[in-house]
Amino acid sequence: MMKQYKLQLTVLLCLCGIAFSACAQEKHMEKEKITVFKIITSNDVSALKHWIAERNNLEIRNDKGETPLITATYANHIEMAKLLIEAGADVNAQDKLLNSSFLYAGASGYLEILKLGLKAGADYKVFNRYYGTALIPACEKGHTAVVAELLKDKSFPVDHVNKLGWTALLEAIILTNGNSKQVEIVAMLIRAGCNVNLADHEGVTPLSHAKNKNFKAIIALLEKAGAH
């Protein structure tokens, strides 16, 4: 009977120890999470260096599903993003909005962070909430430097179609006013070998969209490239 009691007591103590350990670990993680995101919000580079040196979890998430790298990217904190990426942070990790550091940098025109992401192994098959690449919103928003950087890699999926049925070329026409930046981007896409006749889900081609909007310079570029 005494033996059985001792055994039960031992098991109970073990369970209490496990529960205490799990609770302590959870509290540590919560403290760590609060600390790092506060550091990034305040752009305290020195504190971030110290936090990284302590070998904390680079992929810890806040309530929005952001990693420290994603939060740093949202704020365009280039030095912080560099420190985190060099420490091994995942440039392809996505938050609840399906933004990754790489995708958001492309969409926002954050060239330096985009370059860091490319060097760190950005995955072109990780897509945003519109099932789009970094290139598509960059083309729409006129981020010429970002577009040029992405198109340096001949393997980039220049003709990828998002869930709206648009390629980078289509979005550069449909969602813009045809300004000089958009003309430059269309020229870059053509030089990169995009399919100038790839229509949207309704069968409307880039040339038809350009004609509907009377984008004369873009029409000329497309026709010269064999668009119909």
| Full pLDDT tens readout for the chain, 228 residues | 555 655 565 555 555 455 444 444 444 445 556 799 999 999 999 999 999 999 999 999 999 999 999 999 999 999 999 999 999 999 999 999 999 999 999 999 999 999 999 999 999 999 999 999 999 999 999 999 999 999 999 999 999 999 999 999 999 999 999 999 999 999 999 999 999 999 999 999 999 999 999 999 999 999 999 999
Predicted local confidence at residue 88, as pLDDT = 98
Task: Report the predicted TM-score, pTM, of the whole model to 2 decimal places.
Answer: 0.86
In order of their start, the domains of the chain are 34-129 (1.25.40.20), 134-228 (1.25.40.20)
Handedness of CA 114, 116, 119, 120 (dihedral sign): negative
Predicted local confidence at residue 20, as pLDDT = 46
Torsion of CA 42, 46, 47, 53, to 10 degrees: 140
Predicted local confidence at residue 195, as pLDDT = 98
